């Protein structure tokens, strides 16, 4: 048994586009989206122990640490069902990605836990389809890849995309919160009868692959309803544009908004205009390519990814 503690980064994500196509009979929504890992991250420290309980601690008291409400523990529970013999573990989560911000923090935490615990217990490579059940979150498969990916279905059907040049970002999370369930309910998407995710994705990718990032068609179908529910979130978007971002977009189903800047210098100038806002958490960050993602995951003392 390996008893050395290992610390792994757990990166956030943004969506360059997020289109909601309609509601399926099972209650899930079909989407077309392009996801991107960014440098904003949590940290997970995992240390195995002899047979015993799985313990989770978190430096954010607002984050639940019980098996029913935390995706880290649900991920471990999922793995336990596949092992006859397993060790106990102490897991420490240092939280920086805002909860309920649309940045995929919980799904990222779950994905890295799946990778790390499976590696420590068995030393096997995680198969995305096998180890990413829908009840752990539709974004979990994406965080098992990183970089830039197109996703369809409920977000679990992934297509890795070529990385684009580094983009300089500011992510802002206001105090306003909108749950994902409330966001979907407000969207009131029609029942899914016919949809053409292939043509929507193809046309979106044609523009998103442009060398001129200013031509990218940033779009999020949640913006209309989220801005009506919480006008403060729309104010964040406008503030990012006023601070010099060439584009700004709601992250996932909110409540975070990200702005894209021409350079790190332009981003740094924009920070000065945003940090004076009371109640806003402001994070300068940048996009993370798939190669950078894999290198970060493999630099923790135990490689989580197989190098291609």
13 is catalytic: yes
Q: What is the mean pLDDT of the chain?
A: 87
Angle, helices 231-242/264-274, rounded to nearest 10 degrees: 130
Residue 186: predicted pLDDT: 84
Give the list of residues 6+ apart from residue 117 with CB closer than 8 angstroms, or none: 46, 75, 76, 79, 89
Q: Which domains does the chain have, with CATH numbers?
A: 6-162+289-297 (3.30.230.10), 168-286 (3.30.70.890)
Q: Which residue did the predictor score with more confidence, 126 or 216?
A: 216
Q: Would you put residue 90 in left (φ > 0), alpha (ψ -120 to 50) or beta?
A: beta
Residue 30: predicted pLDDT: 83
pLDDT band at 234; cut points 50, 70, 90: very high
Given a cut of 70, is residue 96 above it in pLDDT?
yes
Q: What is the DSSP string of 107-136?
A: HHHHHHHHHHHHHHHH--PPPTTTS--GGG
The predicted model gives 198-216 an average pLDDT of 68
Query: For the chain, how long is the longest CA-to-CA vector?
Result: 57
pLDDT band at 216; cut points 50, 70, 90: confident
What's the predicted TM-score (pTM) here? 0.91
Half-sphere exposure of 206 (CA within 13 A, CB side): 6
Given a cut of 60, is residue 192 above it in pLDDT?
no
pLDDT band at 41; cut points 50, 70, 90: very high
On the 0-12 / 13-18 / 19+ scale of CB atoms within 10 A, 268 is: middle
Given a cut of 70, is residue 224 above it in pLDDT?
yes
Choosing from 74, 115, 119, 139, the catalytic residue is: 139
Residue 129: predicted pLDDT: 53
Check if the beta carbon of residue 21 is closer than 8 Å to that of residue 30: yes
Mean pLDDT highest for which of 129-133, 185-189, 221-225, 304-308?
221-225
Residue 199: predicted pLDDT: 66
Given a cut of 70, is residue 268 above it in pLDDT?
yes
Q: Among 52, 57, 46, which Cα is nearest to 7's?
A: 46
Distance CA(273)–CA(271), nearest Å, equals 5
Q: Which residue did the predictor score with more confidence, 118 or 97?
A: 97
On the 0-12 / 13-18 / 19+ scale of CB atoms within 10 A, 193 is: exposed
């Amino acid at each position: 048994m390996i008893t050395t503690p290992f610390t792994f980064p757990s990166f956030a994500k943004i969506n360059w586009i997020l289109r909601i196509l309609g509601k399926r009979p099972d209650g899930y929504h079909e989407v077309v989206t392009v996801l991107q890992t960014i440098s904003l991250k949590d940290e997970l420290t995992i240390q195995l122990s002899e047979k015993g309980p799985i313990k989770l601690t978190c430096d954010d008291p607002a984050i639940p640490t019980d098996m029913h409400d935390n995706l880290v523990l649900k991920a471990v529970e999922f793995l336990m069902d596949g092992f006859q013999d397993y060790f106990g573990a102490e897991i420490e989560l240092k939280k920086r990605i805002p909860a309920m911000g649309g940045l995929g923090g919980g799904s990222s935490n779950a994905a890295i836990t799946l990778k790390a615990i499976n590696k420590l217990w068995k030393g096997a490579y995680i198969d995305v389809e096998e180890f990413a059940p829908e009840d752990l979150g539709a974004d979990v498969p994406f965080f098992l890849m990183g970089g830039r990916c197109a996703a369809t279905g409920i977000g679990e059907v992934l297509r890795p995309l070529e990385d684009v040049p580094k983009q300089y970002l500011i992510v802002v999370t206001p105090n306003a919160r909108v749950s994902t369930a409330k966001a979907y309910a407000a969207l009131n998407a029609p029942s899914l009868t016919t949809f053409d995710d292939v043509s929507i994705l193809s046309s979106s990718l044609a523009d998103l692959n442009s060398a001129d990032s200013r031509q990218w068609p940033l779009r999020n179908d949640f913006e209309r309803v989220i801005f009506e529910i919480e006008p403060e979130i729309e104010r964040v978007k406008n503030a990012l544009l006023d601070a010099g971002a060439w584009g700004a977009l709601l992250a996932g189903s909110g409540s975070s908004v990200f702005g894209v800047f021409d350079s790190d210098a332009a981003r740094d100038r924009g920070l000065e205009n945003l940090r004076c806002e009371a109640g806003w958490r402001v994070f300068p960050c940048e996009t993370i390519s798939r190669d950078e993602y894999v290198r970060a995951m493999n630099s923790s003392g135990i490689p989580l990814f197989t190098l291609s």
